[in-house]
Amino acid sequence: MLDRRGQVAFRVIHDADRPFLEALFTSAREWEFQMTVWKADEKTRFLKSQFDAQDLHYQRVYPDAVRRIITLDGVDIGRLYVDRQDDHMRLLELTLSPDVQGRGIGTDILRSLLNEAHGGKVPLRLMVEQSNPALRLYMRHGFVQTAVQGHHLALEWRPNTAPREI
């Protein structure tokens, strides 16, 4: 088991990371398949095709996004994809392995992104499935729903840009 107090870092993704990223994608979607009767090989094929489609989509639609592996004490534990534009930031992916969830790592990363958005005076936007457990994390941090797109919610966090008294 990894220690929560360890050093969280980010590293560039390489071709050799694809198996880890596919396994992470699969583990993050496990909650969706709890009620299905699919055979293991059917689920594996489906999830691989979903990962491939998502990966291609991100590359085409967000070619300048920063894509990183999240590590804890040098061990790969997740992925973070962020697209930074002049007028907003978009959190494409913040996925942690189930064995490190619930330790505040995702919260710390999200707060760092919120601080960056606040400093740049830009909104932070994301999409999340309506039944994704991570939705609670985003709502706790002040995201508001801006749209519904199929099974996904568009969420946005806006920095307070009003003048402050000194």
At 28 the pLDDT is 85
Q: What is the pLDDT of residue 1?
A: 45
Cα separation, 30 vs 81, whole angstroms:
20
Q: Is the pLDDT of residue 53 over 50?
A: yes
Q: Quote the pTM value.
A: 0.89
Domains of the chain: 9-157 (3.40.630.30)
Residues 119-141: pLDDT tens digits? Answer: 999 999 999 999 888 899 999 99
| Span 161-165, average pLDDT | 76
Average model confidence (pLDDT) across the chain = 92
